[in-house]
Amino acid sequence: MPARPLPQILSEATLVLYPADSSGEAITGSPIWLGSFPEQLNLNREFTEFDVTPTGATFPEKRRVPGFHEISLRCLWALRAQDFADYNPDEDAAYVLEIFFQYDRPDAWYKRTYYGVRAQGWQSQSEGVMEFFADLKLTATHFITSSGSGAYTPTAVAGGHDLSLFTRPGVADLAAYLLGHYQWDENRVGVNAKVIAQAGSGGNTVLTLEIGGVLSSYALTIPSGSGEVTATVDLTALSIPVATACRWKVTTAPLSGQASAVCIVMETRE
């Protein structure tokens, strides 16, 4: 029996926009934004046709050339809480856009990386008298794809820090893993991990870091309540050996009224 196809679910995708260096490669240590959850994502590509019919030809002839990739994202218009910073795309800057999917069953990943990305425009429109949605339009020259099974190995940031994203769009059920399964091609040292989630009314939820298939003593607690909550754990005593996979698992959760929309950003360094 052939393997079941894997649908791409936008709420389970991680989007990262990086500045590009002079050679067009991503400057991975300085993302413009990380972990965007767009309300809508459109990926378009059209071919341009030219009429090259010779004089006197019986039938018309067309020649096609590749056109730009057109990318449009619709997100909630929001300001950064700590300093009210707003995202303002630079029309002269070059970017690299990654769209990254990780799957729970099977344990696998797929990434599409767009190069030669340029901002084409930005507009915002309210939903009646309610929230604003921001539409960002980009173009790209080309993309490449990569995929694999098991843990994903991020590109190393020489001398810098690495941010790894773990998410669970739905409720945080007991024994469930967050999406995100990473390993590194060098020894890493922890810095910290921060969780942002919608609190559940049924009780506290505990998320525990699993290292090499073994639960560690590092945990994040999402307190019972309502609304958006955050928590942080210090990882400075953590050492992660090369090629050792890391995941976050729900180790304590109520049977009802669970936390939801969980997102963890874990920072490590060389």
Q: Which domains does the chain have, with CATH numbers?
A: 10-149 (2.40.30.200), 161-269 (2.60.120.260)
The verdict on whether omega for the bond into residue 106 sits within 30 degrees of 0, i.e. cis, is yes
Give the residue among 15, 78, 7 at the shortest CA–CA distance from 41: 15
- pLDDT tens, 138-196? 999 999 999 999 999 987 665 677 889 899 988 999 999 999 999 999 999 999 999 99
Q: CB of 111 within 8 A of CB of 100?
A: yes
pLDDT at residue 119, rounded to an integer: 94
Measured CA to CA, the distance from residue 105 to residue 108 in angstroms comes to: 8
Measured CA to CA, the distance from residue 138 to residue 128 in angstroms comes to: 26
| pLDDT tier for residue 9 given thresholds of 50, 70 and 90 | confident
- pLDDT tens, 194-222? 999 999 999 999 999 999 999 999 999 99
The answer to pTM > 0.85 is no
pLDDT at residue 148, rounded to an integer: 93
Q: Per residue in 39-61, is it b (16+ CB within 10 Å) or e — as a string?
A: eebeeeeeeeeeeeeeeeeeeee
pLDDT at residue 212, rounded to an integer: 96
Mean residue pLDDT across the chain: 90
